[in-house]
Amino acid sequence: MNKKIKLPNIGLDEVEVVDILVKKEDIIKKKQPLILVEGDKVSMEIPSPFSGKINEILVNIGDKIKHNSLIMVCENNENKILKDKNNKILENYSKKRKKKYNYIHASPIIRKMIREYDISIKNIKGSGRKGRIIKEDILKYISNNNIINNNKIIEDKKLNDKNLNEFGKIEIININKIKQVSGFNLHQNWLNIPHVTQFDEADITETEKFRKSKNLMYNKNNINVKITLLSFIVKIISESLIKFPIFNSSITKDNKKIIIKKYINIGIAVNTKKGLLVPIIFNVNNKNIIDIYKDLLLLSEKARNMKITKKDITGGCFTISNLGSIGGNIFTPIINSPEVAILGISKSLIKPLWKNDKFIPRLMLPLSLSYDHRVIDGVDGAKFITYVKECLFDIRNLLL
């Protein structure tokens, strides 16, 4: 006898059919999932109210259905199935299918993301509870397979090529190779690394007095050296990486191991006429402030003349992005993978700080520390930036 299967009352006004878990002529059991629906940020499987054989499937993927909407027509032969040996074999097959579909769990948002990137959900291995697919699984799959959101590209192309020139004159310029590569890497790093950015300010009043006095001394003695604040910061970061080695690490591709580096190479983000480059000062822990100053001078000159080689930008442990000469207060620097942290420096400002019974002027340097939350927790982040602040407040702390 044929029986109609309708959508039961699941507490939602309307849902979308996102998957059909059986096909025509399948032998099904009572409570076996028939379709997967989504609505109001939830997804759920709709089970069969009885055993039988599927005669008709009356919905398609993408259909919007409501309570009492007709889903399927099933031949209800429950007693015969229980007795028939051959049908029992089919039931076992059906049971395996049920397990298979039950294994692929994902929220509506995740499924939407999968559809946008035109990925087969069966190709993604879920790392969440009970094999649930989470956002990180999709991002990892996208990164490993260099998948692009074709739908977004098509829409953006339509907007740029067709619509924008309707409002006035436009100019289209090519993105040079350096910006294309750095842009792709930044995008991947932002997608794949769970960033946390910690903001703080360091009192550099005394350090700046010391730096200027030293430069004045060098000038009087005709020594061609002009130490920059960045030279001090590079040295401070080097000592900080020794004190907090978790910041001098990388995470393996399977996210199961951390590689602690025993060398200290610090990259300096440099804005060139062709885009962002990150040349590296190698073995900083074995260099003094003057050595670092000379390395910074050399790298700046090579960057300006576009003579940076692959060797100059490979093997970094930690990156410093310095916007102090440009301006701004705080920003969120993007981690330079496979590193796990980056320090952003903004323009220093004189600020009034309350001491004893009055305000006194102090030179304050804004700091922005971004770190990979898979490797570094908030406590370590706070300790790291606090140590950097202490050393910037009094450079003699490096001797302790």
CA 283/CA 280 separation, integer angstroms: 10
With the C-alpha atoms ordered 134, 135, 136, 140, is the resulting torsion angle positive or negative?
positive
CA 139/CA 145 separation, integer angstroms: 10
What is the 3 state secondary structure string of 195-247?
A: EEEEEEEEECHHHHHHHHHHHHHHHHCCCCCCCCHHHHHHHHHHHHHHHCHHH
CA 346/CA 324 separation, integer angstroms: 4
* Exposure on the CB side of residue 327, measured as CA atoms within 13 A: 0
Q: Which two tokens stand for residue 387?
A: 């140590």
Host H or E run for residue 303: helix 289-304
Q: Which of 13, 16, 110, 6 is closest to 62 using CA atoms?
A: 16
CA 328 to the chain's CA centroid: 24
Is 373 a catalytic site residue?
yes
Q: Which two tokens stand for residue 356?
A: 């004893």
CB atoms within 10 A of CB 193: 23
CB atoms within 10 A of CB 102: 14
Residues assigned a catalytic role? 373
